[in-house]
A and B are shown apart, each in its own frame.
Chain A
């Protein structure tokens, strides 16, 4: 199924939470959804017989300036089709429902997104830093991040 077909199918089920489907050159076609509906939509994406997106390839967060974007790259091992799902949340309250219970691979990806960009995933069982030390301050992949001068008295 193409992104457009999936979008229309989701639109009839989830309504306005599915905002738009963007197909334009030099972009993988993607569907933009509202952050609060992430869990429900992802759940139906995985469990729907015709969609069956059982494989989360990648979960990335990006800094979009005022917002933080979260991108889900999905793949179906049954139908061999792909889908990109995007959502974005304001930087001052970056809370996205966790999809860890849907795809366990999201566990570490979400921890990484939290670690490097500070997206808080609501419902994640163990949202702690993964790559940086547990007591590191700040989220380095944000564009406004300033590298601290010292870490535990050591020069960075």
Chain B
């Protein structure tokens, strides 16, 4: 038995096998219950197949059984990080169909809460993106600051995350006496932390090395894939619905649309997408400041709310600029108080579809960063 077997290996014949890994549905960095089936060749990603539906709650089917105001809480639960922004296009659609004139004060209040929520959303986006890169401290800085924003929104609406605040033609609650001061305080805090995180994370050499030039999304591809929001703007397209087709009172404010400029890396890479979010927080601060200044303090925010909401027969597609991109609602009304069909076009859902396109050929660790830079919420992807 001690006879040694002579093994002939034809080295050119050796075939290395690719490994398929399931990233998720339980995984620290899929930001929810997303499952990515990843094929890797060593550390290089050769294929990504997203599998969705782990958080599917039949949103669209439910809506067909709900009256129009009853749907608003369900909409909160789509993108639960920026619920205020979610409600807006839906309420706007109903207002357009019913021809309701929204009071001035309500418009300002909506702008303020939506922009506050946009800051909160971007804080989470940047924080978790940093966490994906391994930086833990900015994550907690942002969560600490986000709490102040949530407190304001809680005082207005009574809820921390799922506000159910917008009504057709109004909002649920009026401002409280110290509202303006608290908003100014929060803006100061946001700016201070942003400056700190700029130093600590965004311009950190390791972070730049990790994110710059990774997951490059060219504008043509981004538009073809229907990307919107910071993902599209990170590719250098100045596409922002608040500017391109100003809804509500956004035409009254002076603000810039930050786009990826490629100060570091290439336009359209993870770093630039992330940087757009950092700049957008600052722009949101500017909008809030102007809105606080112009907002009339008198007026009843619930005055214009119709008692009974019954839409005429018709269809509408209404969209608004959510923190994550363009959120659209396609509502088909059959003349009753319930929608015949309600389709939600979630920005996360559409932005996520670009993942297989931009992550091939990068390393496994980059895939996580690309996913983080797209900033998805699975509640909206799966609905």
Are A and B a genuine interacting pair, yes or no? yes
A45 to B383, CA, bound (A): 30
**Does residue A44 face the partner (Cβ distance < 8 Å to B)?**
no
Give the size of the chain B interface in residues (CB under 8 angstroms): 41
Find out whether the CB atom of A132 lies under 8 angstroms from the CB atom of B53.
yes
Residues in A with CB closer than 8 Å to B97 are 26
Find out whether the CB atom of A104 lies under 8 angstroms from the CB atom of B353.
yes
Minimum CB–CB distance from B62 to chain A (whole Å) comes to: 11
Find out whether the CB atom of A104 lies under 8 angstroms from the CB atom of B312.
no
Find out whether the CB atom of A77 lies under 8 angstroms from the CB atom of B330.
no
Minimum CB–CB distance from A32 to chain B (whole Å) comes to: 12
Find out whether the CB atom of B226 lies under 8 angstroms from the CB atom of A55.
yes
Question: Per a CB cutoff under 8 Å, which of B226, B237, B244 touches A105?
Answer: B226
Contact stretch, chosen from A6-14, A56-64, A90-98: A56-64
Find out whether the CB atom of A84 lies under 8 angstroms from the CB atom of B237.
no
Chain B: which residue is nearest A26 at the CB level?
A: B314
Find out whether the CB atom of B328 lies under 8 angstroms from the CB atom of A73.
yes
Residues in B with CB closer than 8 Å to A58 are 317, 328, 330, 343, 345
**Does residue B100 face the partner (Cβ distance < 8 Å to A)?**
no
**Does residue A108 face the partner (Cβ distance < 8 Å to B)?**
yes
A residues 125-140 in Cβ contact with B at 8 Å:
129-133, 140
Residues in A with CB closer than 8 Å to B64 are 141
A104 to B352, CA, bound (A): 12
Residues in A with CB closer than 8 Å to B56 are 131-132
Residues in A with CB closer than 8 Å to B52 are 130-131
Minimum CB–CB distance from A98 to chain B (whole Å) comes to: 15
**Does residue A28 face the partner (Cβ distance < 8 Å to B)?**
yes
A75 to B252, CA, bound (A): 24
A129 to B345, CA, bound (A): 17
A residues 114-133 in Cβ contact with B at 8 Å:
116, 129-133
Minimum CB–CB distance from B25 to chain A (whole Å) comes to: 13
Find out whether the CB atom of B53 lies under 8 angstroms from the CB atom of A133.
yes
Residues 367-383 of chain B, each 1 if its beta carbon lies under 8 Å from chain A, else 0: 00000000000000011
A127 to B330, CA, bound (A): 23
Find out whether the CB atom of A26 lies under 8 angstroms from the CB atom of B328.
no
Residues in B with CB closer than 8 Å to A60 are 330, 341, 343, 345
**Does residue B161 face the partner (Cβ distance < 8 Å to A)?**
no
Find out whether the CB atom of A62 lies under 8 angstroms from the CB atom of B332.
yes
Minimum CB–CB distance from A70 to chain B (whole Å) comes to: 11
Residues in A with CB closer than 8 Å to B317 are 28, 57-58, 73, 84
Given A73-B317, A132-B56, CB of A56 within 8 Å of CB of B343:
no
Minimum CB–CB distance from B118 to chain A (whole Å) comes to: 20
Minimum CB–CB distance from B330 to chain A (whole Å) comes to: 5
Residues in A with CB closer than 8 Å to B23 are none
Find out whether the CB atom of A108 lies under 8 angstroms from the CB atom of B315.
no
Minimum CB–CB distance from A104 to chain B (whole Å) comes to: 5
A/B interface sample: 23 pairs, CB < 8 A: A26-B311, A27-B314, A28-B316, A30-B315, A54-B224, A58-B343, A58-B345, A63-B341, A73-B330, A73-B345, A77-B239, A104-B221, A104-B224, A105-B353, A130-B52, A131-B53, A131-B383, A132-B56, A133-B53, A140-B58, A141-B61, A141-B64, A141-B341
Q: What is the interface of chain B, defined by CB distance below 8 A to chain A?
A: 52-53, 56, 58, 60-61, 64, 97, 221, 223-227, 237, 239, 244-245, 311-317, 319, 326, 328, 330, 332-333, 340-341, 343, 345, 349-350, 353, 357, 382-383
Q: Which 6 A-B pairs have the closest CB atoms?
A: A105-B226, A26-B314, A60-B343, A58-B345, A131-B53, A62-B341
Q: What is the interface of chain A, defined by CB distance below 8 A to chain B?
A: 25-28, 30, 54-58, 60, 62-63, 71, 73, 77, 80, 84, 103-105, 107-109, 116, 129-133, 140-141
14 additional contacts, CB 8 Å, given A58-B317, A62-B340, A73-B317? A25-B314, A26-B311, A26-B312, A26-B314, A28-B316, A57-B326, A58-B330, A58-B345, A60-B345, A71-B315, A77-B223, A131-B56, A140-B58, A141-B61
